[in-house]
């Protein structure tokens, strides 16, 4: 067990705990040879293996080794023991940008300085074929000099992850920051999706609250797909025009990073730090809307999902597909996608159903229970956040009566992974 003051692997003296999640803890530490301050992410191997997160951790490490930029959190080295993985990272003394903005909106020159650094970091990432896919204030850190550090590449993708159509297809990200094309699930350009998230971040820096807000997650997604937001009256006209180009719901006409860098507002004071930047001075105005940050940016406290689970008539399929099938049924799950897939395969095996898996969280189950033809069920797994999934079941072949019976048999067997059923009049 790691404890303050202990020497880790004869190299690092551990300090205070900076943060922790379900599978990892982050400590402040000091390199006893050089005296350099670092942050060490300690990952529990057994927990990540059971949760199916090994590939995600490998991807995060490989991406951080690949991207070298002053505004991207630097990875120094990776060490491992039989039970733990230790990732030694650059220490960002200022902590999360989220904590600064949650106190109120930033001054325009400070917000622009941060946005300039963010765009510079994304430009280098995209040129190297790296797409972050989860840009948000919690993943932007501040160093002791007020400089920006982009962190947490756990949901990132590389250019070689694209499918034959040249697009990415995994639905991921944080709801309030995610681009419309990611929600629509028709494939998306990782760079353009990141640009949208950068636009949301710029808005928040200047406004002190999110552009797309609603206590009902579905209504919030509708606002995102329509780019339904309003700029506060203190936004300069040139910022409004820039946001209009960034928060363009059509990815084909959305502004590119190179065009953002040519924008006149963006270029003001480029490379010049605001005088009061180290303290990240904020305006005195404190907006009540900031309260909704925790509802959408912290999945473990996401109250919006309670509303979804209690709304029996709520249909999530409109978020992803255009057709309306009356025999569709959905359930929500707090389990990782790997656990959901494993359980579905287990249930299918017990019911003697054939299973076919495809990319993008899709399974097809086929059984011979039908009186006239085989009954087929398509299972789609949608990732709303890394800790919250929606699984949609729908009939692909066979008659409705046989499908209903098969579905009724499956529901009790899935109780271990189901948080709440929805869209079924019998529930």
Tell whether 60 and 141 lie within a shared domain: no
Give me the pLDDT at residue 112, please.
95
Task: Please state the domain count of the chain.
Answer: 3
Mean pLDDT for the stretch of residues 239-249: 97
Mean pLDDT for the stretch of residues 342-369: 76
CB 249 within 8 A of CB 180: yes
CB 222 within 8 A of CB 316: no
Tokens of 70: 């002053």
Q: What is the pTM of this model?
A: 0.67
Residue 41, marked binder: yes
1 lies in a domain?
no
Q: Which residue has the higher pLDDT, 260 or 387?
A: 260
Tell whether 293 and 349 lie within a shared domain: no
Q: Whole-angstrom Cα distance, residue 374 to residue 150?
A: 51
Least reliable range by pLDDT among 193-202, 253-262, 272-281, 308-317? 308-317
Tell whether 275 and 333 lie within a shared domain: no
pLDDT-based confidence at 323, cuts 50/70/90? very low
Q: Whole-angstrom Cα distance, residue 340 to residue 331?
A: 11
> Model confidence over 109-119: pLDDT tens digits?
999 999 999 99
Give me the pLDDT at residue 277, please.
56
Residue 85 lies in domain: 7-90
What average pLDDT is seen over the chain?
A: 79
CB 284 within 8 A of CB 208: no
Tokens of 251: 């990815």
Tell whether 31 and 62 lie within a shared domain: yes
Domain end call among 252, 277, 302: 302
427 lies in a domain?
no
Domain end call among 256, 277, 302: 302
Tell whether 144 and 274 lie within a shared domain: yes
Tell whether 164 and 223 lie within a shared domain: yes
Tell whether 190 and 150 lie within a shared domain: yes
pLDDT-based confidence at 341, cuts 50/70/90? confident
Tokens of 381: 């797994």
**Which residues have C-beta within 8 Å of that of residue 252, sequence separation ≥ 6?**
none
pLDDT-based confidence at 317, cuts 50/70/90? very low
**Which residues have C-beta within 8 Å of that of residue 342, sequence separation ≥ 6?**
none
DSSP-based three-state secondary structure for 363: strand
> Model confidence over 107-164: pLDDT tens digits?
999 999 999 999 999 999 999 999 998 999 999 999 888 899 999 888 888 776 777 6
The DSSP-derived string for 203-237 is HHHHHSS-SS--SSHHHHHHHHHHT-----TTS-H
The DSSP-derived string for 52-101 is T-HHHHHHHHHHHHH---TTBPPEEEEEE-SSEEEEEEE--TTEEHHHHH
Least reliable range by pLDDT among 198-202, 273-277, 376-380, 422-426? 422-426
CB 356 within 8 A of CB 364: yes
Among all residues, which ones are annotated catalytic?
134
Tell whether 362 and 313 lie within a shared domain: yes
Q: Whole-angstrom Cα distance, residue 410 to residue 18?
A: 43
Q: Whole-angstrom Cα distance, residue 261 to residue 12?
A: 40
Q: What is the CA radius of gyration of the chain?
A: 23
Instruction: Give the CATH number for residue 329.
Output: 3.30.310.80
Give me the pLDDT at residue 320, please.
35
Give me the pLDDT at residue 18, please.
87
């Amino acid at each position: 067990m790691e404890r303050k003051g202990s020497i880790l692997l004869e190299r690092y003296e551990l300090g205070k705990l900076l943060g922790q999640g379900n599978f990892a803890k982050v400590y402040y530490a000091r390199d006893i040879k050089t005296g350099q301050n670092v942050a060490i992410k300690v990952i529990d191997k057994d927990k990540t293996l059971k949760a199916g997160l090994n590939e995600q951790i490998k991807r995060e490490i490989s991406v951080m080794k690949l991207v070298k930029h002053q505004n991207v959190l630097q990875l120094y080295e990776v060490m491992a023991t039989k039970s733990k993985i230790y990732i030694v990272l650059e220490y960002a003394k200022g902590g999360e940008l989220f904590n600064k903005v949650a106190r109120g909106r930033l001054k325009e020159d400070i917000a622009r300085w941060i946005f300039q650094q963010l765009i510079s970091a994304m430009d280098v990432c995209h040129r190297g074929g790296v797409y972050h896919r989860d840009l948000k204030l919690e993943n932007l850190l501040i160093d002791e000099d007020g400089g920006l550090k982009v962190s947490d590449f756990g949901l990132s993708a590389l250019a070689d992850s694209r499918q034959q159509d040249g697009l990415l297809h995994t639905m991921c990200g944080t709801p309030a920051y995610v681009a419309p094309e990611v929600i629509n699930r028709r494939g998306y350009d990782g760079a353009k999706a990141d640009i949208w998230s950068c636009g949301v971040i710029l808005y928040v820096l200047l406004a002190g609250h999110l552009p797309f807000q609603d206590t009902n997650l579905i209504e919030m997604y509708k606002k995102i797909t329509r780019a339904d937001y309003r700029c506060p009256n203190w936004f300069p006209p040139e910022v409004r025009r820039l946001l209009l180009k960034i928060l363009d719901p059509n990815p084909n006409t959305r502004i590119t990073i190179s065009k953002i860098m040519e924008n006149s507002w963006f270029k003001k004071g480029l490379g010049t730090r605001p005088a009061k930047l180290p303290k990240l001075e904020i305006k005195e105005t404190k907006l009540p809307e900031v309260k909704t940050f925790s509802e959408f940016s912290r999945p473990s406290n996401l109250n919006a999902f309670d509303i979804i689970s209690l709304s029996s008539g709520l249909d999530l399929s409109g978020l992803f597909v255009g057709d309306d099938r009356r025999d569709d049924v959905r359930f929500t799950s707090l389990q990782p996608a790997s656990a959901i897939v494993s359980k579905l395969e287990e249930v299918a095996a017990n019911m003697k159903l054939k299973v076919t898996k495809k990319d993008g969280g899709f399974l097809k189950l086929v059984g011979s229970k039908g009186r006239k033809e085989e009954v087929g069920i398509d299972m789609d797994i949608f990732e709303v956040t890394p800790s919250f999934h929606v699984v949609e079941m729908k009939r692909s072949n066979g008659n409705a009566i046989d499908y209903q019976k098969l579905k009724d048999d499956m529901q009790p067997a899935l109780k271990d992974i189901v948080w709440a059923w929805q869209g079924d009049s019998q529930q």
